[in-house]
Amino acid sequence: MKRGLLIVLSGPSGVGKGTVCRSLQARMPGLRLSVSATTRQPRPGEIDGRDYYFISDAQFQRLLAEGAFLEWARVHGCHYGTLKDKVAEVLASGSDLLLEIDIQGAEQVRRLMPEAVTIFMAPPSMAALEQRIIGRGTEDAQKIRQRLETARQEMKAYRSYEYLVVNDEVEATAALLASIIQSEKCRVSRGARPPLQEVNEV
């Protein structure tokens, strides 16, 4: 069984990662989105086990001590982490898996799994990013300021990624991500082979 492709997507909070990923999954139903554990409070409409595993600080520290995380980071005052076993299980089953994680987590994954495809999503402008965070209506003024300040720092990290996509319009961005993933899966260096036994036996 061919292992699935691991895709890392980062970008500032509010740039539209979650929105674009929902559209991407509609285009690529086989693509799995990793569910992270976090100590952040759920936003209205977020569901435990679908959007995140919402856990306490003590639970997070226990998982960390057990070595359960492939990567983890403290972002905007809360802890976030990707569960190692889930990643291994999905990739071994042959499914492609997208991790939507911050730049510190991406750095850790790049080191541990250099075969991962890394994509950075940027907003068309800082003003557009601010409007999106305000429009989402899930953060108070102080948290919005904190996220914008972090965003300015995070934007500088785009050079460490293989791909940069600017999220101008949701459907166009989802189409772009789908084409990046499809292209990566056609790479011979990633194990793409023609469906001819005679060729593959050589």
**Single-letter code of the amino acid located at 71:** E
Report how many residues bind ligand ADP under the rule CB under 6 A: 15
Annotate each residue in 160-189 with x if it binds ligand ADP (CB under 6 A) or - if it does not, as one string: -------xxxx-------------------
Copy the structure tokens of residue 151.
Answer: 């965003």
Copy the structure tokens of residue 179.
Answer: 């084409």
| 80 binding ligand 5GP? (CB under 6 A) | yes
Shortest approach of ligand ADP to residue 150 CB, angstroms?
A: 12
Contact, 76 vs 38, CB < 8 A?
no
Phi, psi (degrees; rounded to nearest 5) at 71: -155, 160
Decide: helix, strand or coil at residue 121.
strand
| 73 binding ligand 5GP? (CB under 6 A) | yes
d(CA 126, CA 122): 9
Shortest approach of ligand ADP to residue 18 CB, angstroms?
A: 3
- Alpha carbon 153 to chain centroid, angstroms: 18
| 107 binding ligand 5GP? (CB under 6 A) | no
Copy the structure tokens of residue 139.
Answer: 């953060």
Residue 126 CB-half CA count within 13 A: 11
Compare residues 80 and 91 and give the one whose CB is closer to ligand ADP. 80
Candidates 20-28, 60-68, 72-80, 193-201; binding stretch for ligand 5GP (CB under 6 A): 72-80
From candidates 5, 6, 17, 81, binder to ligand ADP by CB under 6 A: 17
Decide: helix, strand or coil at residue 48.
strand
105's contact among ligand ADP, ligand 5GP, none, with CB below 5 to 8 A by partner kind, is: ligand 5GP
| 102 binding ligand 5GP? (CB under 6 A) | yes
6-10 and 97-100 beta bridge pairing:
parallel
Where on the chain is the footprint of ligand 5GP (CB under 6 A)? Answer: 10, 13, 36, 40, 71-73, 75-76, 80-82, 100-102, 104-105
Where on the chain is the footprint of ligand ADP (CB under 6 A)? Answer: 11, 13-19, 132, 135-136, 167-170
